[in-house]
Amino acid sequence: MSVQEQASPATSTPWVPLWPLTPALAYGTTLPSSPVDGQEAILVDSLTSPTYQWRFRYNAGSTSPYKWEFIGGAPAYHEVATGEAITAAGGWVNLATNGPLITVPRAGDYLAEYSVMSYNANGSAITMYAGIALGDTGALHYAGQIIYFMNALGGIGNCGGNYKVAGAAVNDVIKLRYFATAITGTDQQFQMRTLAVTPVRVA
């Protein structure tokens, strides 16, 4: 075929991709308001300095009211390292530094994981608990142990667990609260408190 016989660009067969081009994912502090089945989006708490990036896929066929299903990303995380004393016995209370806590951005189901170090500088056996709560009400799930005075540094123990918080409302606060069967001054303390919250599915 001579140079003169070569097909011109105007008559050439156009290139066609073998698969549909994927549009850029929505990325923002809200999810799309009119999603279609299979649509994906990334939810963040800040566009400039996000502390989490959660990727969701919309399942129109789900019978749940929470049709955005979590498919990837790191949990929202909060830590309070400083040791603080529990100041009331026999009920669930907050410490001087409230939390750790996470405010959930959407109604839905969330998985909360937590760990706490407890410390007792008194000679008596005292049971100390830490638990997952929604706001300032009781505890949905808790773990604890009897902490004895062991030596000059006091008795130290660790507790924690995970719990599925079902049916949280938008802007609900998932947090840790604390319980001790008895207190003696400031001898009963909690420290190294961590909370990680991951969505399961949201509205």
Q: pLDDT by residue (tens digit) across 87-141?
A: 999 999 999 999 999 999 999 999 999 999 998 888 788 899 999 999 998 889 9
CB contact set of 73 (below 8 Å; sequence gap of 6+):
42, 52, 53, 54, 55, 198
Q: Which amino acid is at 137?
A: T
113 phi and psi angles, rounded to 5 deg: -125, 140
Distance CA 45, CA 39 (A): 20
pLDDT at 6 over 70: no
What pLDDT score does 149 carry?
57
What's the CATH fold of domain 75-203? Jelly Rolls (2.60.120)
Q: Could you tell me the pTM of the whole model?
A: 0.84
Q: pLDDT by residue (tens digit) across 139-173?
A: 899 988 766 655 555 688 888 999 999 999 999 99
| Domains of the chain by residue range | 22-74, 75-203
Q: pLDDT by residue (tens digit) across 32-86?
A: 999 999 999 999 999 999 999 999 999 999 999 999 999 999 999 999 999 999 9
Distance CA 150, CA 145 (A): 14
Of all residues in the chain, the percent with pLDDT exceeding 70 is 84
CB contact set of 16 (below 8 Å; sequence gap of 6+):
none
